[in-house]
Amino acid sequence: MAARAWCSGMADPLVVVLLRWTDARARIDPLSGEVESDPRGAGPSEADRCALEHGLRIAEAAGGRCVAVTLAPEEATELLRDALACGADAVLRVAVAPWDPRVPDSGAATARALATAIRAELGEPSLVLTGDHSADRGTGSTPAFLAAELDCAQALGLVRLSYADGELRALRRLDRGRRERLAIPLPAVCSVEPAGLRLRRASLPSTLAARTAAIPVVAGTVEAEPVTAHAARPLRPRAKELPAPREADPRLRLLRLTGAHEEREPPRVVVTDDPAEAADELLDYLRGKGYL
Amino acid sequence: MRERAGPASTAVIVDQPRRPDFDAIVVGAGPAGSAAALELARAGHSVALLERGPFPGAKNVYGGVVYGRVLDELIPRWYDEMPVQRWVTRRQTMVLDGERSMTVDFRSQNWGSAPYNGATTYRAEFDEWLAGHAQKAGAVLVPSTVATRLLRTESGRIVGVRTDRPDGDLTATVVIACDGVNSFLAKQAGLVPGDQAAHTTLGVKETLALPRKTIDERFGVSANEGVDIEMLGCTQGIPGGGFLYTNAETLSVGLVLGLRGLAESGRRPEEILAELKRHPSIQPLVRGAELVEYSAHLIPEGGYDTMPRLVGDGLLVAGDAAAMCLAAGIWLEGVNFALGSGMYAGRAAASALAAGDLAGLREYKRLLESSFVLADHKKLRKAPGLVLSERMQRRYPGLVCDLVEGMFTVENPRPKPGVRKLLRASAKRHGVTLRELARDALTGLRTFG
């Protein structure tokens, strides 16, 4: 698809970088399943840090503004100060009270709250960037929901992102080492993987300025309730019950149990660039397996 | 290239800044640094508190007791708000030899209520709490920032630091180096004397998780009471000692090992710690615990005689950077000395800034001498030498255990031997002459008396 010119009709390109405040080193008790989290060790994921660097570079190249936004409790203020120190033009914290750490896990509700806050406080964004959250135990659904909320295109799994000659181009990682080149129409929501570049080190003067900067906070509303866990317990899958093999010979009993010599349909590799063809393949497969 | 701190780095020569960025820069947001920043900010001076970790305490390795009396002066009623694991109400000194041990056990419930005596704490929480006070008073905390070099004028006056951030020079009228043991800033200022390795030890520590109830039962404590055990004779002949402290739901067990002795032994510190944990006196205490952390850190244990010069031109040195760690056998204290030295450094700097005369920084040394900080170190200046001596480390633990075993082994129908006879036999067995014993007793009496 041909890319639309950068920010057509927009006088002041706005690049919004969404940072998820997350404790990447949270400990899960193997017996009780309880999660022990330490807010001091929490911050953006590497993917989010990459997204911020992309955002800063694109905003610089396009002569626009880069604004870092998070939906997080007050403890996440440090994350926004760091973004300011790195060069973000502004920051915004969307506060949900009372804070429930499971709120960001609800992609649809998070996207709605973020879209409402961005539109109300910052205006229509030209580009929204975020880290690929799935790698950090997020649901990965927020960018898709956000694209729907903002009525714009979406690209995910990006390992390279560049802006030149009024076009936003990206490289997307596909399975089995393949890469896909994209020309992304704008406005768009793009989620990036932690690859290719690192967040710049903030200078001392900007770090000092960020230490005392006011951090704007806007109240957000998460309409849908996040998934509620009524009880947490360790994963103990039930043992699969198998009928005892009838064979008397131990070898045959073993073969029966393992199914080692049973005839199977060999795996089939399907390569197609056509989405409709790919969808048909999937549907045929599901029909063949009796799911449809 | 990014600036890095290192032993080979040297100060940067700059012009005298017309208008410094801050009145004072405190390097290191540990107990000393935060105490100094708190005093300066309270006095109305602008102060930057640089911290290399992402938050104060993030880089800390510690498992010990914070004695809070000095905090009375710094933060009244500190015990109502300080993050505490357990209040130490039981104190043991244990001498180990082979599979034997002799313990002096003291308990006081007076230490379990206000104003308390000492507490175990997690330094990540403690340091953040103290730095928070400094910030509330007006200090500007700058995390994830390493001070790599001093900025000094041609005349030698220190006027700031260079950090590892781009455009990272920061100027101030006074710099307070609280950058920990092996302080590169104190070295760059030429304040550190001689061979540091000779009087530096390596502390290694395991944090072991146990249920609170199990800790209560094993250590004979309840509610939020805790135990402090200091050990001698558990280091396989390497100069040093051991420790075990109770936290709410973890134990801190570790060793302090002389660097030279450790290097000469060819042993790994974790092996020696594993042997300590297998000792019949320690094993029942740590049995079944889950290892949640292993860490190591250098400790300046040389005492008064190995301290750097504490005052430079525009520079004060406090905390571990100033070797403010009291390793005197029965007393093993560091945080209270760091707090005290930092507090007095902050006060001296504040006075000098108010007077507009940096000669006033010399007041720091006087404040330390007139307080417990240098008074205790001066009085106990011979203690590290005595405690880390070959006899104390390798011979006396066995001698003591032999003596006590002889006293309490009942060998009827033989009559009980006299203590003097037992002492003579034990001393002979361990190659200690009575003259050496008397000399060490006298040194001990002079040191601790």
- Domain with residue A161: its CATH number is 3.40.50.620
Q: Which domain holds residue A267?
A: 250-288
**Chain B residues with CB-CB distance to A84 below 8 A:** none
* Domain count across chain A: 2
At residue A223, the pLDDT reads 67
Q: What is the pLDDT of residues B128-154, one digit of tens each?
A: 999 999 999 999 999 999 999 999 999
Q: How far apart are CA A43 and CA A52, in angstroms?
A: 13
What residues of B are in contact with residue A205 (Cβ under 8 Å)? 167
Q: B439 phi and psi, to 5 degrees?
A: -65, -45
pLDDT digits (tens, 9 = 90+) for B119-132: 999 998 999 999 99
| Domain match, A164 and A114 both | yes
> Which range has highest mean pLDDT (A7-11, A191-195, B34-38, B442-446)?
B34-38
- pLDDT attached to residue A2: 35
Q: What is the pLDDT of residue A134?
A: 56
The pLDDT > 70 percentage for chain A reads 92
Residue A166 lies in a domain: yes
Listing DSSP states for B152-200 in one string gives: E-TTS-EEEEEESSTT-EEEEEEEEE---SS-HHHHHTT---S-SGGGE
pLDDT in tens, A42-80: 889 899 999 999 999 999 999 999 999 999 999 899 999
For residue A208, list chain B residues with Cβ-Cβ distance below 8 A. Answer: 21, 48, 140, 142
* Between B10 and A4, residue with greater pLDDT: B10
Average pLDDT in the A223-239 region?
73
Mutation target among B161, B164, B167 for the A interface, most CBs of A within 10 A: B167
On whether both A41 and A95 belong to a single domain, the answer is yes
**Nearest-Cα residue of chain A relative to residue B47:** A208
pLDDT at A1: 35
Residues A186 and A284 in one domain: no
What does the pLDDT profile of chain B (449 residues) look like in tens digits?
566 666 567 889 999 999 999 999 999 999 999 999 999 999 999 999 999 999 999 877 777 899 989 999 999 999 999 999 999 999 999 999 999 999 999 999 999 999 999 999 999 899 999 999 999 999 999 999 999 999 999 999 999 999 999 999 999 999 999 999 989 999 999 998 877 888 899 999 999 999 999 999 999 999 899 999 999 999 998 999 999 999 999 999 999 999 999 999 999 999 999 999 999 999 999 999 999 899 999 999 888 889 999 999 999 999 999 999 888 777 888 999 999 999 999 999 999 999 999 999 999 999 999 999 999 999 888 888 888 888 888 899 999 999 999 999 998 888 888 888 999 999 999 999 989 989 888 888 887 77
Instruction: Look at A267 and A2; give whichever has higher pLDDT.
Output: A267
Q: CB distance B165–A204 less than 8 Å?
A: yes
Give how far B311 is from chain A: nearest CA, Å.
27
Chain A contacts of B50, Cβ < 8 Å?
none
DSSP assignment of B329-364: TTEEE-HHHHHHHHHHHHHHHHHHHHHT-GGGGGHH
pLDDT(A101) > 60: yes
The answer to whether the CB atoms of A201 and B167 lie below 8 A apart is: no
Read off the pLDDT band of A7 (50, 70, 90).
Answer: very low
Do A96 and A200 sit in the same domain of this protein? yes
Residues A140 and A280 both lie in one domain: no
CA dist., res. B449 & res. B439, Å (int): 14
* Residue A104: inside a domain: yes
CATH fold group of domain B12-85+121-193+308-380: FAD/NAD(P)-binding domain (3.50.50)
A201 min Cα distance to partner chain B (Å): 7
Number of H helices, E strands in chain A: 7, 11
Residues of A in contact with B142 (CB under 8 A): 204, 207-208, 211
Q: What is the pLDDT, as a whole number, of residue B251?
A: 96
User: What residues in B contact A43, CB-CB < 8 Å?
Assistant: 54
Q: Are residues A206 and A257 in the same domain?
A: no
Residue of B nearest to A27 (CA): B292
Name the residue facing A211 among B140, B166, B168 (closest C-beta).
B140
Return mean pLDDT, chain B: 92
Q: Is residue A225 part of a domain?
A: no
pLDDT in tens, B43-88: 999 999 999 999 999 877 777 899 989 999 999 999 999 999 999 9
Asked if B140's CB is within 8 angstroms of A208's CB, the reply is: yes
Buried b (16+ CB within 10 A) or exposed e, A204-230: bbbbbebbeeebeebebebeeeeeeee
Structure confidence at residue A3 (pLDDT): 37
Same domain as A270, residue A131: no
Q: Which residues of B touch A78 (CB under 8 A)?
A: 55, 143
What pLDDT shows up at residue B322? Answer: 95
Option in A40, A202, A204 nearest B170 (CB): A204
Q: What is the ipTM of this complex?
A: 0.85
Residues of A with CB under 8 A from a CB of B: 40-41, 43, 78, 201-205, 207-208, 211-212
State whether A201 and B2 contact (CB < 8 Å). Answer: yes
With a cut of 80, say whether residue A133 has pLDDT above it: no
Residue that finishes a domain, picked among A197, A219, A241: A219
The model's pTM is 0.84
Inter-chain touch A203–B2, beta carbons under 8 Å: no
A229 lies in some domain: no
Q: What number is the average pLDDT over the span A171-178?
A: 86
CATH number of the structural domain B198-300: 3.30.9.90
| Band (A5; pLDDT cuts 50, 70, 90) | very low
- Picking from A202, A211, A212, the nearest residue to B165 by CB comes out as A202
Residue A6 lies in a domain: no
Mutate which of A23, A29, A40, A75 to disrupt the B interface (most B C-beta within 10 Å)? A40
H, E, C per residue of A32-97:
CCCEECCHHHCECCHHHHHHHHHHHHHHHHHCCEEEEEEECCHHHHHHHHHHHHHCCCEEEEEECC
Question: What's the CA gap between A135 and A146, in Å, rounded?
Answer: 18
A5 occurs within a structural domain: no
A209 and A267, same domain (yes or no): no
Domain locations in chain B as residue ranges: 12-85+121-193+308-380, 198-300, 389-448
**Residue A234: inside a domain, yes or no?**
no
pLDDT, position B83: 95
Q: Does B165 touch chain A (CB under 8 A)?
A: yes
